[in-house]
Amino acid sequence: MAYARPAAPDELRPLEVFGNSARFLYDEDHLSEPGPAARWLAGHALADLTLDEPGRARLVRFRETLREHLGGADVTAELNEFAAVAVTGPRWPGPALAPAGGGVDGLIARLLDVLFRAEVTGRVQRLKPCRAPECRWLFYDRSPAGNGVWCSMDICGARHKMRTYRARR
């Protein structure tokens, strides 16, 4: 079954695409090996880079930190750790956060810049991971109240309802 939610707005799409490089519910992780990961990043217009194992592992760690942050966890120290290496600091005019270099850290810097801008405008509050711990797919919540919690009511929402129903019986 596929996820049916519309994509996030253009300014948030890089975070959504990168964060969804893994579909844990289907046991898929596009960042599981350096070569395929580099091709996946290029194919999704995120980065054109040569990836080694430490770089791949750093991207996976950043992806999971991003998901935790969007899920409401306090991962400020981890985000600052990534920023300390990847970002040189604010520049005017231009991007809010300037990449310190290329490669993996350049990609992380660009994603941190998108995250920073979205935090400032408040738009990031609607980009969230599915509440199902076995899923954690990022989705943009377009509900009027902004209180959606499942990537899909047909997948994770239905599973949660069934578990709740069975637990009551």
In sequence order, what are the residues at sequence separation of 6 or more whose Cβ sits closer than 8 angstroms to the Cβ of residue 70? 15, 19, 124, 127, 128, 129, 138
Domain count, the chain: 1
Report the C-alpha gap between 169 and 163 in whole angstroms: 10
Check whether 26 has a pLDDT greater than 70: yes
Which residues span the domain enclosing 108? 13-124
Check whether 164 has a pLDDT greater than 80: no
Region class of 131: left (phi > 0), else alpha (psi between -120 and 50), else beta: alpha
Q: Say if 94 falls within a structural domain.
A: yes
Check whether 160 has a pLDDT greater than 60: no
Q: Do the Cβ atoms of 120 and 27 come closer than 8 Å?
A: no
β-pairing, 127-129 with 98-99? unpaired
Q: Say if 80 falls within a structural domain.
A: yes
Name the average pLDDT for the chain. Answer: 89
Q: Say if 142 falls within a structural domain.
A: no
Q: Say if 1 falls within a structural domain.
A: no
Long-range contacts of 60-64 (CB under 8 A, 24+ apart): 60/29, 60/31, 62/108, 62/111, 63/18, 63/19, 63/21, 63/22, 63/31
Q: Could you tell me the pLDDT band of residue 159, with boundaries at 50, 70 and 90?
A: low
Q: Say if 95 falls within a structural domain.
A: yes
Note the pTM of the prediction, 2 decimals. Answer: 0.88
Q: What is the pLDDT of residues 71-109, one digit of tens each?
A: 999 999 999 999 999 998 777 666 678 888 899 999 999
Q: What is the pLDDT of residues 100-140, one digit of tens each?
A: 889 999 999 999 999 999 999 999 999 999 988 888 899 99
Q: Say if 133 falls within a structural domain.
A: no
Q: Please report where in the chains the tokens 């991007």 appear, as a residue.
A: 95
Q: Say if 81 falls within a structural domain.
A: yes
Q: Say if 153 falls within a structural domain.
A: no
